[in-house]
């Protein structure tokens, strides 16, 4: 277990560490509300701009592919310049991009604001992974990471009714502008509460001037990295199917009104809120009971992905809407068990000097899956006019992800990242 340098006051240390986590939790909620606001306004914007399903799929993915690519330099930037500066610049830029989204006049201008949003949001969860690796030991890291990563599930759980209400009250443009303004408030909280104090750092976490340079390609090409990344692609696909197309599915194929779909879509996402800390608690509990750290992280990860896949495949073959929603809820709950655990696993698998870079690589892979989900769904709908294959494809990919995660067995060491000798 990672040992922590004892500060003057254990109570002060506890308060400080968890205050950082709570600020990041708030930030992660806003981070995801800014991502999913377009999904909530999907049908309204499509009607206003005259967009077909393929165009809407492209627009829904406009955030994701820049986000995915930006994770690679973002991880390096976090390792090089530290969490405080990168977080601050990131949240200010993504908040301004969200505000700008409220003033767009068509497909292309919306596409550009979503691209900027994706680039600016890329460092956030990488920073969360670095913070948990810096400040928390192995048997605490799962819960700390799960709290930071609980934000997306809270955001998605309450986004459908909350953002639908805001959209009906002030229009979709007013909704975008309001969310961007709240993000600027989070930036001020970060300035106020985040600080670096060596008395609080893990003894295993080297100071900036003592860190080795990370060989990016050695890290990227490590077998553990490949199994992790394939797992992320497969498991993220089904998540982002729900995030981007669930409201539209409920209105167009289940006959719900916009308001009904907003409330119905909240149910599975609330289940996801409950699942994230449960996954972190399970892995930390197994570690305390003596299980190998990697195995303990993989129990909720692999098990959750298998259950999520089994639940999602038959969704559109179920005639009763209530039972279809039960399956969707089970799928989201099971898949969410892995969310915080994976970011804890980033710190468990890599040497301290490579946490940010590896976090960027694995999040890059996650958003390959996230990018494919809305685009793939748009093309399947255009070709078949049915969600049957949409859910089957996502379930199969999630099973492939589960198998890939199960093949992770080896930690990445500093020696693995040294340049190859000629």
How far is the C-alpha of 76 from the C-alpha of 58, rounded, in Å? 28
208 pLDDT band, cuts 50/70/90, is: very low
* Residue 351: both structure tokens together: 């040497």
Contacts of residue 50, defined as CB under 8 A and 6 or more positions apart, other chains included, come to: none
Between residues 320 and 6, which one has the greater pLDDT?
Answer: 320
Q: Would the CA dihedral through 154, 333, 407, 403 be positive or negative? A: negative
Tokens of 10: 């254990």
pLDDT digits (tens, 9 = 90+) for 138-187: 777 777 877 887 777 777 667 777 888 888 888 889 989 999 999 999 89
Q: Tell me how many degrees the CA angle 58-47-153 measures, rounded to the nearest 5.
A: 55
> What is the average per-residue pLDDT within 271-283?
88
Mean pLDDT of 388-408: 93
Mean pLDDT, range 180-204, rounded to an integer: 73
For residue 6, the model assigns a pLDDT of 42
pLDDT of 9 higher than 50: no
> How confident is residue 98, by pLDDT bands cut at 50, 70 and 90?
very high
pLDDT at 69: 81
The per-residue b/e assignment along 174-202, b for 16 or more CB within 10 angstroms, e otherwise, is: ebbbbbbeebeebbebbeeebeeeeebbb
Per-residue confidence band for 277, with pLDDT thresholds at 50, 70 and 90: confident
Q: What is the mean pLDDT of the chain?
A: 82
pLDDT at 80 over 80: no
The two tokens of residue 78 are: 């976090």
Mean pLDDT of 395-406: 95
Whether residue 11 is predicted with pLDDT greater than 60 in this model: the reply is: no
Residues ≥6 apart with Cβ < 8 Å to 99 = 176, 177, 180, 181
Q: At 131, list the tokens.
A: 């913070």
Give the C-alpha separation, 393 to 373, whole Å: 10
- Residues with Cβ < 8 Å from 89, sequence gap 6 or more? 120
Domain 10-195+214-416: assigned CATH number: 1.20.1250.20
On the question of pLDDT at 199 being above 90, the answer is: no
Please state the φ and ψ torsions of residue 4, each to the nearest 5 degrees.
-110, 140
% of the chain residues with pLDDT over 90: 22
Question: CA-to-CA distance for 203 and 172, rounded, in angstroms?
Answer: 48
Q: At what angle do helices 10-40 and 138-148 cross, to 10 degrees?
A: 40
Using CA atoms, how far apart are residues 340 and 277, in angstroms rounded to an integer?
Answer: 7
User: What pLDDT, on the 0 to 100 scale, is given for residue 385?
Assistant: 80
User: What's the CA gap between 226 and 358, in Å, rounded?
Assistant: 11
Q: What's the burial of 364, exposed, middle or buried (CB within 10 Å: 0-12/13-18/19+)?
A: buried
DSSP designation for 386: S
SS3 4: strand
Helix residue ranges per DSSP H, 136-222 = 138-148, 150-193, 216-220
Percent of the chain having pLDDT more than 70? Answer: 90
Assigned token pair, 332 = 């989201």
Q: Decide which of 1 and 334 is more confident.
A: 334
pTM of the model: 0.71
pLDDT tens, 239-265? Answer: 888 877 887 888 888 878 777 887 888
Backbone φ and ψ for 202, nearest 5 degrees, come out as -60, 140
Burial class, 14, CB count within 10 angstroms (exposed 0-12 / middle 13-18 / buried 19+): exposed
- The confidence band for 361, taking pLDDT boundaries of 50, 70 and 90, is confident
Residue 129 pLDDT exceeds 60 = yes
Query: What distance in Å separates the CA atoms of residue 95 and residue 98, rounded to the nearest whole number?
Result: 5
- Residue 198: pLDDT band (50, 70, 90) is very low
229 CB-near residues (< 8 Å, 6+ apart): 361, 362, 364, 365
Residue with tokens 């909280």: 189
pLDDT recorded at residue 205 = 46
pLDDT, tens only, 284-339? 889 888 898 899 999 999 999 999 999 999 988 888 888 989 999 999 999 999 98
Of the candidates 137, 225, 215, the one whose C-alpha atom is nearest the C-alpha of residue 409 is 225
pLDDT, residue 214, reads 65
């Amino acid at each position: 277990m990672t040992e922590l340098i004892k500060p003057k006051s254990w109570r002060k240390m506890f308060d400080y560490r968890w205050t950082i986590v709570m600020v990041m939790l708030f930030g992660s909620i806003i981070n995801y509300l800014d991502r999913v606001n377009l999904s909530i306004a999907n049908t309204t914007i499509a009607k206003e701009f005259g967009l077909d399903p393929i165009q809407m799929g492209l627009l829904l993915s406009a955030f994701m592919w820049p986000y995915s690519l930006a994770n690679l330099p973002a991880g390096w930037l976090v390792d090089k310049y530290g969490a405080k500066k990168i977080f601050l610049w990131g949240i200010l830029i993504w908040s301004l991009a969200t505000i700008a989204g409220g003033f767009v006049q068509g497909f292309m201008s919306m596409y550009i604001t979503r691209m900027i949003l994706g680039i600016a949001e890329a460092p956030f969860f990488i920073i969360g992974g670095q913070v948990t690796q810096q400040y928390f030991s192995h048997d605490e890291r799962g819960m700390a990471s799960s709290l930071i990563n609980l934000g997306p599930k809270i955001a998605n759980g309450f986004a459908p009714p909350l953002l639908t209400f805001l959209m009906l009250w002030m229009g979709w443009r007013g909704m975008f502008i309001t969310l961007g303004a709240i993000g600027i408030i989070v930036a001020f909280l970060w300035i106020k509460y985040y600080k670096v104090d060596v008395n609080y750092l893990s003894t295993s976490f080297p100071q900036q001037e003592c860190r080795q340079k990370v060989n990016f390609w050695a890290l990227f090409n490590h077998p553990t990295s490949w199994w992790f990344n394939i797992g992320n692609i497969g498991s993220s696909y089904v998540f982002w199917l729900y995030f981007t197309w669930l409201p539209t599915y409920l209105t167009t194929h289940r006959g719900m009104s916009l308001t009904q779909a907003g409330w119905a879509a909240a149910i599975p996402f609330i289940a996801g809120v409950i699942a994230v800390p449960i996954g972190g608690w399970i892995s930390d509990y197994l570690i305390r009971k003596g299980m190998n750290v990697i195995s303990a992280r993989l129990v909720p990860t692999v098990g959750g992905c298998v259950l999520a896949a089994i639940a999602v495949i038959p969704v559109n073959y179920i005639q009763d809407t209530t039972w279809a929603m039960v399956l969707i809820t089970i799928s989201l709950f099971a898949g969410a068990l892995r969310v915080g655990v994976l970011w804890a696993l980033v710190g468990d698998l890599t040497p301290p000097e490579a946490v940010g870079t590896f976090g960027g690589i694995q999040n890059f892979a996650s958003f390959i899956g996230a990018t494919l989900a809305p685009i793939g769904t748009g093309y399947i709908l255009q070709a078949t006019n049915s969600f049957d294959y949409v859910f089957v494809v996502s379930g199969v990919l999630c099973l492939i992800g589960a198998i890939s995660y199960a093949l992770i067995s080896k930690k990445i060491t500093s020696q693995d990242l040294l340049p190859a000798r000629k």
